[in-house]
Structure 1
């Protein structure tokens, strides 16, 4: 146990060293999985979990605060499990999302204090994220189960697609810092939309809108900008 503790302490000390201030641009990309909550499905067992991808950038203004913009693609889908229907309804929806968010660290990015503050940073920083944006989506529904293909018989669209809706992303994650340049952040986001037709289903008395959740793993890259005056060769 003592050797494990020393190795852990040495690792945290090594990754904690930094000469970069907690300000500036961060470039990020992520992959994940998406699930939907709609009139057809609101539970894991009826969800057809789809892929999700995102790219974006953050601008850190302080050790606590950053502003970001993200562009993402994801696929939503679910199958209605109704024993009273001989053919269950399945839908598949392609979504492109653009959003702007505010990121708030729940801990100071710096682990040190006083004269050591600028040289030591935390390995793990929890954060929350929230903002607003737009989704551009196309929904298709069909009888039975499985994935949508070219030979599938589909139901008529209940509205004109592609369609656009506002979205409010809310969530958070943990940022693991491995160097001045690279961090990894598992993140969970819940997207509140104002769309009723992500599942291509006519509504009856239920006025609830459709929402979706995305679990991401993001890679964050902070470019190292060298001082050209100090590094100039004479």
Structure 2
């Protein structure tokens, strides 16, 4: 009977150590990525955003894992945004309205991340994740309505006044945003990971492009980024959820 108990205890210990090994993960990560930033707002007819005016950007982040499925990260984006009516031939009025804007963008946001398959280096090489957070974006918006052709908008007599109102309206310098997104990670080595990510930012302003009343005041402006990057995992390895059995 004692021999059976010893065998059972040995099996439990072996299973526990194996399970622990399967969910060991480095505590910290740092990453860098390059991406394209896409503006969504009044100066594009495309619901997916102004792809003809997309801008490049750099994304940096540091991550601290909380357990095998959750982590927090601090995310920094350095990029620019642009929108231009003249980039679109349809509908034709955009060529005559001819609004445009540009702005540098520096965004800082703390985020919480979730991975359904976990963060373990011994887990699947390909793993999805999702994230959400709050952030603050620094902008310096430069808008231009000098190309507006009033003769093409005779039926809208109030449009010139609405343009004047917009140009007199102060544009946001610091803009609160809510980043939401998802990504895919591919582990090259236990320490090195490739990732691709979609990061969508909801804003609370219709003046991201500098225009509202003269365009579509019913909808807020937004932007998002598509990026690909590399992540380095480091720090003391933690064993989540299944500590080894001790006598």
Structure 1 residue aligned with 2:198: 188
Spell out, residue by residue over 1:113-162, the C-alpha distance to the aligned partner (whole angstroms, 9 max, x if none): xxxxxx83210010111111111111112356xxxxxxxxxx99544456
Structure 2 residue aligned with 1:222: 233
Structure 2 residue aligned with 1:176: 186
Q: What is the Cα deviation at residue 219 of structure 1?
A: 1.1
TM-score calculated relative to the size of structure 2: 0.69
Once residues 171 and 51 of structure 1 are traced to their aligned partners in structure 2, the CA distance between those partners, rounded to angstroms, is 18
Once residues 51 and 111 of structure 2 are traced to their aligned partners in structure 1, the CA distance between those partners, rounded to angstroms, is 30
Structure 2 residue aligned with 1:53: 58
Gaps spanning 5+ residues in structure 2: where? 1-20, 148-163, 238-247
Structure 2 residue aligned with 1:69: 74
Once residues 43 and 62 of structure 2 are traced to their aligned partners in structure 1, the CA distance between those partners, rounded to angstroms, is 35
Q: Pick closer, same or farther for the CA change 1:157–1:72 going to 2, 3 Å.
A: farther
Spell out, residue by residue over 1:102-121, the C-alpha distance to the aligned partner (whole angstroms, 9 max, x if none): 110022345xxxxxxxx832
Structure 2 residue aligned with 1:134: 136
Structure with higher helix content? 2
1:83 matched to 2:92: yes
SS of corresponding position for 1:196? coil
Q: How many residues align?
A: 191
Q: Give the conservation status (yes or no) of the 8 Å contact 2:171–2:210.
A: no
What is the root-mean-square deviation in Å for CA atoms of aligned residues?
2.7
TM-score calculated relative to the size of structure 1: 0.72
Q: Give the conservation status (yes or no) of the 8 Å contact 1:22–1:61.
A: no
Q: Give the conservation status (yes or no) of the 8 Å contact 2:203–2:221.
A: yes
Gaps spanning 5+ residues in structure 1: where? 1-17, 111-118, 145-154, 227-234
Q: Which moved more, 1:203-212 or 1:34-43?
A: 203-212
SS of corresponding position for 1:120? coil
Q: How does 1:1-234 map onto structure 2 within 5 Å?
A: 21-43=24-46, 44=49, 47-80=52-85, 81=88, 83-84=92-93, 86=96, 88-110=98-120, 120-142=122-144, 143=146, 158-160=168-170, 163-203=173-213, 206-223=217-234
Q: Pick closer, same or farther for the CA change 1:158–1:28 going to 2, 3 Å.
A: farther
Q: Give the conservation status (yes or no) of the 8 Å contact 2:59–2:77.
A: yes
> Which structure would you say has the larger RCO, counting Cα contacts within 8 Å and 6 or more residues apart?
2
Q: What is the Cα deviation at residue 46 of structure 1?
A: 6.2
Once residues 51 and 120 of structure 1 are traced to their aligned partners in structure 2, the CA distance between those partners, rounded to angstroms, is 34
SS of corresponding position for 2:230? strand
Q: Give the conservation status (yes or no) of the 8 Å contact 2:50–2:83.
A: no
